[in-house]
Structure 1
Amino acid sequence: MDGITPLHSAVLVKDVDIFKILLENGADFTAFCNFRNQTVIHSAAAAGNLEMFLTMVRYNADMSVQTNNEKGDRPIHLAASMGHVSIVEWLIENGISMEITNKEGHTPLHRAAFRGKIRVVKLLLKKGADVNIRTKNKERNTALHLSVIGGHAQLVKLFLQMGAEIDAEDGTDNMYTAMHYAAQRNGLLCLIELQRSGGNIYMNVDSKNGEALIITAAKYDSVDVAEWLLDRGIHLDIRGKGGRTPLHYAACNDSPMVTILLLDRGADVHSQDDELRTPLFCAVLKRHAETAGLLLYEGADAYTENIDHLNAFDCAAMVGGLRCLKVLLIGNTVKSGGNKYGDFPIHFAAAYGHLDVVDWLIDRGSAVDIRNNMGSTPLINASWGGHCNVARMLLDRGADVNATVEKADNRSVIHSASFSGNAQLVELLLEKGATVNARTSTNNRTPLHWAAQEGHLDIVRLLIKHGADATAQDIYGLTAEGVAFSKG
């Protein structure tokens, strides 16, 4: 194998005689193996070969050398991870600290806990290892946390018997306890052990991190844990941060199994969070079409508006969720008249540059020049956002290249494009017949004024090349050059 020295090979095949002969003949035992970036002492510790390990000791190998990778494990970490009690014990008895860390900030106890090596854990605790010692990293996990993350219920029980803090929170913004990790990992057996030892499964938004266990389970599609919690009386529609229910979290995080469970148990499909978003809105926001379909089947209302007066159709168009739009339009139609501001899905799709959505909506009957309450068209929205491909498609579909926004100073398509800074888009509009010297109604400014104001020199040159009047003045008597000068 590439990068493996003969010494490493001898360890891998457990040939002690060859191993000793190589050492006696001057083999370099300090070399790192490219296979795992380990020296021979690491390989011997990981393999659990005590005879080879002690042979290395006689050659004065460094007992605390770190692997040359992102983990930076020392021999004791590798031995602990693999469950090699005899090597771990020898290292401790010969001066290696039980609190020594690798590059990830893990002690031998943390490594053994995560890997489920109960005999090593018992040895370390017997030798006096701190059961509540934290990892030296941003997670600040305890061994109990890591045993839950690894799914080792027997170790969870042992740690609790040895005095592990059941409610210890990690160092992340989530402030997760061991119970949260059990809910996150669908670790039902671990959660049961934690509850038996006094863990509170009824913790709610009054707890420090504000996250009930059912919400954690919903976020990570931990259906076994969610069902177990509901069977024990956990409130189906408990509110978490922002007023979101478990169904909101399941929908937002694409947790289909928990979504089905919650709906079967009668979760309120119409519930709204503090921003008036429904679970359906959340599913669409994250483009989870299958989850959206489940919610619609159970009666979710696609027209319910959030605090910004956007419905699920608007949201799908805004985020480019074409599959969600198709699901929403099964048995529904886009609301006539648009939302409170007169915007239709095509306005949002164009504004955010979603070519496929705009194209599909037009095929479904959306008017190419439909106006919102301000008078803006999809082409104006696309130009304001600098979306050349969307603009080209709209023009090919017959959009008015000289449309203006009546209630926004009669800003034209080319005004919007000049402001956006997309020279390719401006050139496209000019080729399609845009009026190069169009004026706004209040300030009497041309596209050249707008390009100069924003410092888009390439567009300034392009407009002048196509006949823009560099001497044109706005109502303040400023030319494009004067506007640029006033902006600094």
Structure 2
Amino acid sequence: MLISLDPFVSMQIPHFPKLEYTMPYAPRAPDSAASRVGARVNASSVVAARIAAIGDVNAADATGMRPLLRAAVRGDIETLRALLAAGARVDLPHTKSGAQAIHMAASGGSAEAIRRLVAAGASLEAIWPMNGHTPLVEATFKNNSEAALALLDAGADPAKTSIRGVGTMDFAMRNPTLNHSVVRRLDLMFAKRPDAVERKDAQGTRVIVDGRPVHDISSSVKADAATRIFAAVAARDAQIRPTPRQDQVFLDLLAAADRGDLEAIKGAIDADAKVVNQRGGKLGTTLLILAAVAGRDDVVRLLLDRGADPNLTEIHPMGVHALFKAAIFGHAAIAQMLVDAGAHVNDQGLANGMTPLHDAVLQGRSAVVRVLLRATARADLEDYTGATAQQFARERGSEAVKAVFNEFFSRTTER
């Protein structure tokens, strides 16, 4: 379920070519009207030529990407417009994750791409099978306020949730300053719903925005929404072989991995060695992934010693393996164990194209960044939006992360 790339192959992931516009020198001022018109004409001709060269505008590449998906996530409006005019279908998904172009636009944050896709017939309620996100849920999950507002303007249902039952207001309130306009809009919409409830902080104080309490849908409505989403993707999950286990024995074992119950896991493996590489539960996860999330070093070591595959991915919500989780949660010792066991350090998650290094940089996990760079993790791989881990480190990295990058790359330059 991941894009696996060897560290020494070409850095460019196969996708619709980047568009680089080169204008001939002209003596007029660069911001003149004539210059802008000339740039648009030249850009349009380049885009048209590139689209003509690829042949089938709906074809998917080896990564599962289609030209329209790539243009949508990168907010490349000129290419998106040309692809739609050439017959690109808005409903054709990423072949591995199931994301449609409107999910990609929501993920990348382009409000204009969303507006154009909706005008072309994209569904506001399309479910991304991997995580259950509608485009609006994806936009709020990514803190993409402009995209979320564009979707609400188009009529997206704010009461939808993720497969875990997390709602749009839940996601938006993680950063109420950044998402202020979205929180305000949702508050006004939920206040009109008969099942809306007041939000309160940990001390029981009402959460206030613009002088009024924030309202949200009830927990029962969220639970119902999550149940419907899970039912919608259940048929797809049933096609996976082997089918993820849902029996109580395995569910109890997943709970044991989460809490670090080493003896329970030893007993289960002794009884059935295959359990180390089985997936199950609502998210289709593995014992190794749950242990990595929880930071259970002893459990991770046991599972790897007993043959757990470090590259076996979860099904929901991100479709990633244990090294991604160790990177996100900052468990450097576990990351090292996984690398030593053969985890693919340059795999890219289906939800966003990010590598474990991207995740570690964004979360400020400097110790994990060091582990990954020592293991030949590539800092130049692009996620779906075109951003690299090195770019994240430079523009958004903590001082500790920047120090690790400077240390590593200055050392490699001196060799």
Shorter-chain TM band: 0.3 to 0.5
Q: Under a length normalisation based on structure 2, what TM-score does the superposition of the two structures give?
A: 0.37
- By relative contact order (CA 8 Å, sep 6+), the higher-ranking structure is 2
Q: Under a length normalisation based on structure 1, what TM-score does the superposition of the two structures give?
A: 0.32
